[in-house]
Chain A
Amino acid sequence: MAELPGQIKRMSGGIKQLLEQIFGFSRRCLFRIISMGPIPNHLAFIMDGNRRYAKKCGLEEGSGHKAGFSALMLMLQYCYELGIQYVTIYAFSIDNFRRQPEEVQSLMDLMLEKIKSLLEKESIVHQYGIRVYFIGNLALLNDQVRAAAEKVMNATAKNSRVVLLICIAYNSTDEILQAVKKSCINKYTYNIEASGSYKHEDTDSEIEAKDIENQEKKIQLVDIEENMQMSVAPNPDILIRSSGETRLSNFLLWQTGNSQLCFPAALWPEIGLRHLVWAILNFQRSHSYLEKRKKQL
C-alpha cells in the first residue's frame, strides 16, 4: 500500500512524458504541413499584456512578466523549429522609462537575470545556435544590464543558424533619428573633404562641377538604411502584437511598412501555437500577391 503513491507518481510522470512526446510529434507534423507553403523569414513580437495577465490571475506584480518570459521561450522554440530565421522582440521601450521607478527597476532586474541566463549551457541560445543582438539606445541602460547585453552579443557573435534581436531601450523614432544624424555627419564630412580638395579654374566649369558635386552629396535612402541598427536583419514579414491593442507603439516603424500585422486578443503570457499558426496562414494567403508586386517594383 505504501508503494501506491510512489507508483502513481511514476505513472503520472510517465503519462506526462508520453503526452509531451505526442504533442511534440503532432506539432512537428503540423509544422511540416505548414512548411509546404512559404514560411516567413522574420517575425517580430510586441509582448503586451503581462501586467494585465497578473491582475487577471490574481498574481503579484512581477509574476506577469515572469509568465511572459516563459511564453517567449515557447514561441522562440516554435519559431526556430518551423525554420523562421529571424525573431525580433520588443522587450523595453524608451517610453517605458516613464513608468514608476519601482516597476522600471524590477523590470531591469528581471532582464538582467534573463540576459545572464542566456549564456547558460542549457539555454535556448545554445540549443538552437542563436546569434543575439541587442538593439536600442543601450547608453540609457544601467551599467550592469548593458555589460551583460554586450557580453551575450560577443559570446554569440559566431552563431549563424538563427538570429534573435532584442529591442531594449528602443524607440523606432530614436532609431531613425540616430540614423539620420549619422547620415548627416557622414555627408557633412564628405562635403568638407570634397570641397577642400576641389580646385576651380573659371566660373562656367565651377557651376557645372558644383552641380555634379550636389548630385553626389544628396543623401539617399540607402544611406539612412545602412545606418539603422536593425539593418542586421531583413524587414519583418509579420508583426504580432498580443493583448488585442491595435497600434505600433513606436516599434519598427521603418521596417514594418509592408509587414503583415496580427493583433491576437490573447495577453502575452497566454500566447500559444495556435496564434502563431494563424498568423503564418494569413501570411501565406497574401504572400503570392505581395511577391508579384515586389517583382513589379
Chain B
Amino acid sequence: MLSLRVPTPTSFRRLHAGRSRLSRDCLFSYSPSFVNRGVRLRVRSTKSEVALTPAEEEEEVTLPEELQPELMPKHVAIIMDGNGRWAKNQGLQPWDGHRAGVEALKEIVELSGRWGIQVLTVFAFSTDNWIRPRIEIDFLFSLFERSLKSEFQNLAKNDVRISIIGDSSKLPKSLLRLINEVEEGTKNNTRLQLIVAVGYSGKYDVLQACRGIAQRVKDGEIDVDEIDEGLIEQELETNCTEFPYPDLLIRTSGELRVSNFLLWQLAYTELFFAQELWPDFGRSGYVEALMSFQQRQRRFGGRKS
C-alpha cells in the first residue's frame, strides 16, 4: 500500500535524539496509513522533503528486533508515575512535569499502535489524587482537555479508539462534554483502544459493579445464585473492551506499588517496575518492559510440564 506521508524533519530526528521531551511538538503530524504493521514501506511519496535512510525507515515501522511479534501482549496497562519528581529534578513547576508526561504518553500510544498492542490503559488520575492542590488539579484537567482537543483528529486518523473510565461525577462539565464527543467520534476505530482512567480506583470499580449486579437482582433479571466472576467482569468499567485483563502492567518512577489501579483485572498480570520517571520512559523503556514480558513464563496457577 502506498504511503502518502510527508515526514517533517523533527519527527525523524527525534528517533536518534536524546531524551528531550519538551521540544517534541508534532508526534502526530503525519499519519502512516498502512495496512500491514511491521512491514517495511517500499514506496514513499515523491513529495517528501527529507530523504530517509533505509535504517531510519525500518526503525520507524517495524518491530524492534529484540521483540517477537507473536509474544506481544494484547493489553498493556501503565501507571504514569513521576511527573512531579521529574519537574522538581529539572527545577520546573509540577505542571511542566505533567506537560512532559503528555508528550511521553503520545509516544507510547504511537508505538503501541505500531507494534500490534490492542489495548493500552493508562492511569491518568486516581481517586487519591483529589488531595493534590486545587491549582494542580485544575491544570491537569485543562491539560487533558487541551490534549484531547488537539489530538482528536490525529487519533481518528490513526484509527485509535478512546474510552474513559472512572468516576466522572467530579469532572468539569466542559471536559465531560468533550469526553463524550471523543468517545462517540472514535468508537468505530479498531487499531488501538486507548483507555484513560480518570477519577478511577480499583475498589470503586468493583463497588459500582456490585451495585449494578444488586440492581439487576432487585429488578428480577438475575438470581443471587447466578452471580459469578463472569458477571462481575461484565459490570466492571473495563467492559468497554474485548480484552479487559492487562497482560502487562508497567509502573514508572521505581515505586513498587499498584496504588489501587485495576484491582480485579490484575489477577494474573505480569508486573514491570521501571526506574525512570514517566517523562523519561520513552521507547527504550517500553522495549525493555516488553522484552521482560516476553521472557516470562505464565502459568496461571497450573504447571508447565
Contacts and interface: CB of A to CB of B under 8 A. Distances in A.
A172 B227 contact: no
Nearest to A185: B224
A113 interface: no
Contacts of B210: 180, 183-184, 219, 224
Contacts of A219: 207, 210-211, 214
Given A172-B267, A184-B227, A297-B131, A249 B301 contact: yes
B276 interface: no
B177 to A, nearest CB: 27
Nearest to A283: B256
A105 interface: no
Interface of A: 51, 93-96, 98-100, 103, 171-174, 176-177, 180-181, 183-185, 187-188, 191, 218-221, 224, 245-250, 253-254, 256-262, 282, 286, 293, 296-297
Interface of B: 128, 131, 201-204, 206-207, 209-211, 213-214, 217-218, 224, 227-229, 232, 255-260, 263-264, 266-273, 296, 298, 300-303
B303 A99 contact: yes
Contacts of B228: 177
Which of A95, A171, A253 has its CB near the most chain B CB atoms (within 10 A)? A253
Nearest to B270: A247
Contact of A100 (B203, B229, B267, B303): B303
Contact of B257 (A51, A98, A259): A259
A246 B297 CA distance: 11
Given A174-B229, A176-B232, A218-B211, A249 B267 contact: yes
A286 B257 CA distance: 11
Nearest to B263: A253
A294 to B, nearest CB: 10
A254 to B, nearest CB: 6
A156 B302 CA distance: 33
Given A177-B228, A261-B271, A187 B302 contact: no
Which of B224, B256, B300 has its CB near the most chain A CB atoms (within 10 A)? B256
Contacts of A183: 210, 214
B301 A180 contact: no
Given A103-B303, A173-B264, A184 B229 contact: no
A188 B224 contact: yes
B213 A176 contact: no
B202 A246 contact: no
Contacts of A173: 229, 232, 264, 267
Given A95-B300, A219-B210, A188 B217 contact: yes
B206 A286 contact: no
A45 B96 CA distance: 40
A184 B303 contact: no
Given A184-B213, A253-B263, A247 B269 contact: yes
A159 B89 CA distance: 51
Contacts of A282: 256
Nearest to A218: B211
Nearest to A189: B224
Contacts of A191: 218
A181 B296 contact: no
A224 B207 contact: yes
B271 A246 contact: yes
A180 B269 CA distance: 23
Contacts of B270: 246-247
Contacts of B206: 176, 180, 224, 254
B256 A250 contact: no
A262 B256 contact: yes
A276 to B, nearest CB: 16
Contact of B263 (A181, A220, A245, A254): A254
A176 B263 CA distance: 11
Contacts of B266: 248, 253
Contacts of B255: 286
Given A93-B301, A176-B264, 7 more contacts: A98-B301, A103-B303, A188-B217, A249-B301, A254-B206, A257-B259, A260-B257
Contacts of A286: 255
